[in-house]
Amino acid sequence: MAKREPINCLIVDDEPHARQALQSALARHPELAVIGLCENGLQAVKAIHEQRPQLLFLDVQMPKLDGFDVLELVQEQIPFVIFVTAYDQYAVQAFEANAVDYLLKPVDPKRLAQAVEKVVARVGLEEPSSLQSLLADPARESELLRRILVRDGSEVHVLAVDTVRYIEAADDYVAIHTADTTHIKLDRLSRLQKKLDPRLFCRIHRSYLLNINFLARIESESKDSRIAILTDKRELPISRSGYGNLQKLL
């Protein structure tokens, strides 16, 4: 059999002993090469962006950004994923995210060997986890967002939703405007709107979602054409149905 290049993988876990234990267990599998250890989601996003690993050993529960947040942030370059967690409550969610496998801690060497086998069989034959299935996860859709995760290159920003002034649609992307910055995120405005508090965010136009706390006043130019003036003097168009939405909310 022709010898293949080892598969590059990253270990992402916030517990130091867990990283070390997994790393030493993987030493017995020459078909994998551990190219990095990440202590948290931020490091993971950076490492995935910069090192492009083919495989992630991903812990679910981590501070600030959990395993699913990491996947959400790297959706354009998502590698194969093996979840490694102490709890089995995330199993369903993990498979919906198209994980290759799901390992429970403490990791049993036999189970690890099976998981590695699965990955080796799949690498090169198919594309990694599909984006759509991850984003359609119902468990995560049901909660209202407290924060929006955005990535700029390898840098992650966590925006509190109440600091977001308005969100603008631009094809497959949304532009999230805060006091002085604009962040671009791969997402659809209608999908994002569903996850935001409907008492706070109003769809004033097909392309604009406004945080009503930043609405200063409404000016009408003609009967069917109105403009929202924000507290920072920015102006946004209001469509006819958008005006209806605003009236309902106010």
Cβ distance to other proteins smaller for residue 21 or 249:
21
**131 binds other proteins per the rule CB under 8 A:** no
Per DSSP, 162 falls in state G
**24 binds other proteins per the rule CB under 8 A:** yes
**72 binds other proteins per the rule CB under 8 A:** no
What CA–CA distance (Å, rounded) separates 187 from 180?
21
Assign 3-state DSSP to the chain and report helix, strand, coil percentages, each to 5: 35, 30, 35
**113 binds other proteins per the rule CB under 8 A:** no
Task: Point out which residues pair with 170 in neighbouring strands.
Answer: 173
Region near other proteins per CB under 8 A, out of 60-68, 109-117, 193-201, 240-248: 60-68
Binders of other proteins in range 141-180 (CB under 8 A): 146-147, 158, 160
Q: Could you tell me which residues come within 8 angstroms of residue 196 by beta carbon, excluding any fewer than 6 positions away?
A: 144, 145, 161, 209
**14 binds other proteins per the rule CB under 8 A:** yes
Per DSSP, 70 falls in state H
Burial environment of residue 11 by CB neighbours within 10 A (0 to 12, 13 to 18, 19 or more): buried
Count residues near other proteins (CB under 8 A): 25
Cβ distance to other proteins smaller for residue 14 or 31:
14
Cβ distance to other proteins smaller for residue 49 or 188:
49
Region near other proteins per CB under 8 A, out of 36-44, 182-190, 195-203, 218-226: 36-44
Minimum Å gap between C-beta 168 and other proteins is: 22
Q: Specify the 3-state DSSP secondary structure of 81.
A: strand
Minimum Å gap between C-beta 7 and other proteins is: 24
**91 binds other proteins per the rule CB under 8 A:** no
Provide the CA 204 distance to its chain's centre, in angstroms: 26
Under 8 Å between Cβ of 45 and 73 = yes
Cβ distance to other proteins smaller for residue 40 or 193:
40
Which string of DSSP letters, residue by residue, matches 176-221? EE-SS-EEEEES-HHHHHHHS-TTTEEEEETTEEEEGGGEEEEEEE
Instruction: Look up tokens 């069989």; give the residue.
Output: 121
Query: Considering only residues 16, 124, 198, 244, which one is a binding residue for other proteins as defined by CB under 8 A?
Result: 16
Instruction: Look up tokens 């569903």; give the residue.
Output: 194
Minimum Å gap between C-beta 149 and other proteins is: 10
Q: Which residues bind other proteins (CB under 8 A)?
A: 14-18, 20-21, 24, 40-42, 61-66, 86-87, 105-106, 146-147, 158, 160
